[in-house]
């Protein structure tokens, strides 16, 4: 049940297969070290995976809710039991610090446990009819074979908040993770396949195909019954168009340009502590990270001073060293993109308050200094687009009303936040911010696993993920009328 060699990468129709093209992953904390050697699936692998998943799904659909719950519970336990081994893989290939990786894997284990319980709540209701002698049942059925296309930045938790409800509600899965994090995807697939087989279920219910979006991702989207995607707006839009053409359901979680408002009554030290976590932890590679600090004039200088002091003390380095707080960005593509945004910020007139360039460390890695711009306007490119790196800006505003206006003046609407002690402003902000999630005196990033996750505007499309909302996407309603 385990891949015999490094290069046996894809899990298709219940068995591990070698792919075609070789895929080498370099450790982003040390470019002289290979994190692993893998291989990419081909489009015919996807076709075979979907056929096998389709053939296996009726048995899973017919399983009792307890059987499904037990499989989810076994996945949860395996994640808890193997968290150290998994964290090391995630840190080595993805540049996450070990505490970050452990936090993510623990979150994934809790997600699987949450859906182990949800699987038991046979959803549905019986209603009276408007016609005498008739009853109506509203029941939920699995959708079929779900394609999950997931990113590298949360390579365990984001997939698990799709995989767990997909399986809990009786679907089969084709998983196309980012080809930047194959090692952790293989490790997670192995434990899912083991959990299925240990409970007498076909491992072909769960398939892993590793490859790039344009060929493998597209082949998945063209063959499954529904697609849940987390990633960029451009890719998401292409997937949504294709799903609309095929008239299958689609759920997208895309980017953010998340605002964190700091009002004048806040404690600058507390605001900076929240701000540093919000913008820079995990090298800012979170769709929920703060990109824009929208700061009232009266606290602006004190806030910037507290931020830069804390930023100077941040320990950026090799992800596996215990003292490291912030690891490298994932790869050269991402680093180049981040540096390009920094350059654009400077060209458009922003001032650098901290960071701004690459860092040298004892190992060669993609280390970027946490970067803070000041004197920025909301019209600048760095404040309109999602940077997806350790880069954030301060926008100075005169009062709360202007802060709210600037916060909402964006194409995105994923997360948001405000730091204040004013009940009046806090309540007004939470009621009027155009975002899917909003935080009071908390970082914009860092969410619970048992409540809905998602955004508005260009940040999300389709029903919410996580919590009790997840059932909307992963089941389809049937209305059954009965004359007695």
Instruction: Using CB under 6 A, pick the residue from 154, 293, 303, 429 that binds ligand UN1.
Output: 154
Nearer to ligand UN1, 110 or 286 (CB): 286
Instruction: Please tell me whether residue 446 binds ligand UN1 under the rule CB under 6 A.
Output: yes
Instruction: Please tell me whether residue 445 binds ligand UN1 under the rule CB under 6 A.
Output: yes
Instruction: Using CB under 6 A, pick the residue from 113, 176, 190, 286 that binds ligand UN1.
Output: 286
**Region of residue 133 (phi > 0: left; psi between -120 and 50: alpha; otherwise: beta):** left
Nearer to ligand UN1, 147 or 151 (CB): 151
Nearer to ligand UN1, 404 or 445 (CB): 445
Instruction: Please tell me whether residue 447 binds ligand UN1 under the rule CB under 6 A.
Output: yes
Piece in contact with ligand UN1 (CB under 6 A), picked from 36-44, 87-95, 153-161, 373-381: 153-161
Site string for ligand UN1, 157-196 (x = CB under 6 A): -x--------------------------------------
CB of 152 to ligand UN1, least distance (A): 9
CB of 56 to ligand UN1, least distance (A): 28
Instruction: Please tell me whether residue 459 binds ligand UN1 under the rule CB under 6 A.
Output: no
Instruction: Please tell me whether residue 279 binds ligand UN1 under the rule CB under 6 A.
Output: no
CB contact set of 415 (below 8 Å; sequence gap of 6+): 256, 258, 288, 435, 436, 437, 438, 439, 444, 445, 447, 455
Instruction: Please tell me whether residue 425 binds ligand UN1 under the rule CB under 6 A.
Output: no
| Sites for ligand UN1 among residues 353-412 (CB under 6 A) | none
The DSSP H or E segment spanning 185 is helix 182-198
Piece in contact with ligand UN1 (CB under 6 A), picked from 262-270, 281-289, 340-348, 404-412: 281-289
The sign of the torsion formed by the CA atoms of 466, 107, 99, 331 equals negative
The CA-atom distances, in angstroms, between 27 and each of 152, 280, 305, 327 are 14, 20, 34, 11
Q: Report the C-alpha dihedral over residues 284, 286, 292, 295, rounded to 10 degrees.
A: -80
Instruction: Please tell me whether residue 277 binds ligand UN1 under the rule CB under 6 A.
Output: no
Piece in contact with ligand UN1 (CB under 6 A), picked from 148-156, 295-303, 367-375, 424-432: 148-156
Instruction: Please tell me whether residue 153 binds ligand UN1 under the rule CB under 6 A.
Output: yes
Instruction: Please tell me whether residue 103 binds ligand UN1 under the rule CB under 6 A.
Output: no
User: Rounded distance, CA 92 to CA 98, Å?
Assistant: 9
User: Rounded distance, CA 57 to CA 202, Å?
Assistant: 9
Instruction: Please tell me whether residue 254 binds ligand UN1 under the rule CB under 6 A.
Output: no
Instruction: Please tell me whether residue 288 binds ligand UN1 under the rule CB under 6 A.
Output: yes
Nearer to ligand UN1, 333 or 481 (CB): 333
Got the DSSP string for 44-104? HHHHHHHHHHHHHHHHHHHS-HHHHHHHHHHHHHHHHHTHHHHHHHHHHHH---HHHHHHH
Q: Taking the CA of residue 344 as centre, how many other CA atoms within 13 Å lie in the half-sphere pointing to its CB? A: 16
Nearer to ligand UN1, 219 or 261 (CB): 261
Angle (CA) 452 281 421, round 5°: 65
Piece in contact with ligand UN1 (CB under 6 A), picked from 132-140, 232-240, 286-294, 315-323: 286-294
CB of 117 to ligand UN1, least distance (A): 21
Nearer to ligand UN1, 286 or 464 (CB): 286
Instruction: Please tell me whether residue 278 binds ligand UN1 under the rule CB under 6 A.
Output: no
| Residue 287 annotated as catalytic | yes
Angle (CA) 173 60 230, round 5°: 20
* Residue 369 tokens, joined: 């200094």
Nearer to ligand UN1, 33 or 448 (CB): 448
* Residue 293 tokens, joined: 């600090």
User: Rounded distance, CA 7 to CA 39, Å?
Assistant: 6
Instruction: Using CB under 6 A, pick the residue from 9, 230, 290, 460 that binds ligand UN1.
Output: 230
CB of 288 to ligand UN1, least distance (A): 4
Nearer to ligand UN1, 380 or 439 (CB): 439
User: Rounded distance, CA 168 to CA 69, Å?
Assistant: 7
The DSSP H or E segment spanning 24 is strand 22-27
Nearer to ligand UN1, 154 or 367 (CB): 154
Which of 287, 319, 380, 395 is labelled catalytic?
287
* Residue 371 tokens, joined: 């970067």
To which residue do tokens 């945004």 refer? 341
Instruction: Please tell me whether residue 287 binds ligand UN1 under the rule CB under 6 A.
Output: yes
The CA-atom distances, in angstroms, between 334 and each of 178, 185, 340, 387, 388 are 14, 20, 10, 9, 8
Contact indicator for 437, 415 with CB cutoff of 8 Å: yes
Instruction: Please tell me whether residue 113 binds ligand UN1 under the rule CB under 6 A.
Output: no
CB of 208 to ligand UN1, least distance (A): 19
Q: Which residues bind ligand UN1 (CB under 6 A)?
A: 151, 153-154, 158, 230, 253, 286-288, 445-447
Active-site annotation, residues: 287
């Amino acid at each position: 049940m385990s891949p015999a060699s490094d290069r046996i990468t894809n899990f298709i129709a219940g068995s591990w297969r070698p792919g075609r093209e070789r895929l080498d992953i370099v450790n982003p904390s040390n470019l002289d070290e290979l994190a692993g050697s893998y291989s990419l699936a081909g489009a015919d692998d996807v076709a075979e995976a979907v056929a096998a998943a389709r053939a296996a799904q009726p048995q899973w659909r017919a399983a009792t809710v307890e059987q499904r719950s037990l499989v989810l519970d076994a996945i949860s336990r395996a994640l808890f039991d193997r968290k150290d081994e998994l964290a090391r893989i995630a840190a080595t290939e993805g540049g996450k610090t070990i505490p970050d990786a452990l936090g993510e894997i623990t979150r994934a284990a809790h997600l699987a446990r949450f859906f182990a319980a949800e699987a038991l709540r046979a959803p549905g209701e019986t209603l009276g009819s408007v016609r005498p002698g008739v009853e109506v049942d509203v029941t939920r059925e699995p959708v079929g074979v779900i394609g999950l296309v997931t990113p590298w930045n949360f390579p365990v938790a984001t997939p698990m908040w799709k995989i767990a409800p997909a399986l809990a509600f009786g679907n089969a899965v084709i998983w196309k993770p980012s080809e930047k994090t194959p090692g952790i995807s293989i490790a997670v697939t192995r434990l899912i396949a083991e959990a299925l087989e240990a409970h007498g279920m076909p491992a072909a219910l769960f398939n892993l195909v590793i490859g790039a979006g344009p060929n493998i991702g597209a082949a998945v989207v063209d063959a499954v019954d529904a697609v849940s995607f987390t990633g960029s707006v451009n890719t998401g839009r292409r997937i949504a168009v294709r799903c609309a053409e095929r008239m299958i359901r689609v759920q997208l979680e895309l980017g953010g340009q998340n605002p964190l408002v700091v009002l004048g009554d806040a404690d600058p030290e507390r605001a900076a502590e929240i701000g540093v976590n919000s913008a820079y932890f995990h090298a800012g590679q979170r769709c929920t990270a703060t990109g824009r600090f929208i700061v009232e004039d009266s606290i602006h200088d004190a806030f910037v001073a507290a931020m830069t002091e804390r930023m100077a003390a941040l320990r950026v380095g090799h992800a596996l060293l215990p003292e490291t707080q912030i690891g490298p960005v994932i790869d050269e593509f991402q680093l180049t993109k981040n540096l390009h945004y920094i350059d654009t910020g400077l060209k458009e007139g922003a001032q650098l308050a901290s960071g701004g360039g690459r860092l040298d460390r004892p190992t060669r890695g993609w280390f970027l200094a946490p970067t803070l711009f000041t004197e920025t306007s909301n019209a600048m490119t760095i404040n309109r687009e999602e940077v997806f790196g350790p880069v954030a800006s301060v926008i100075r505003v005169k009062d709360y009303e202007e802060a709210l206006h600037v916060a909402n003046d964006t194409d995105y609407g994923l997360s948001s936040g405000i730091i204040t002690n004013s009940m009046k402003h806090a309540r007004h902000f939470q009621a009027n911010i155009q975002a899917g999630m909003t935080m009071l005196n908390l970082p914009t990033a860092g969410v619970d696993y048992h409540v809905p996750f998602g955004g508005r505007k260009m940040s999300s499309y389709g029903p919410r993920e996580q919590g009790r909302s997840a059932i909307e996407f992963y089941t389809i309603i049937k209305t059954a009328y009965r004359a007695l």
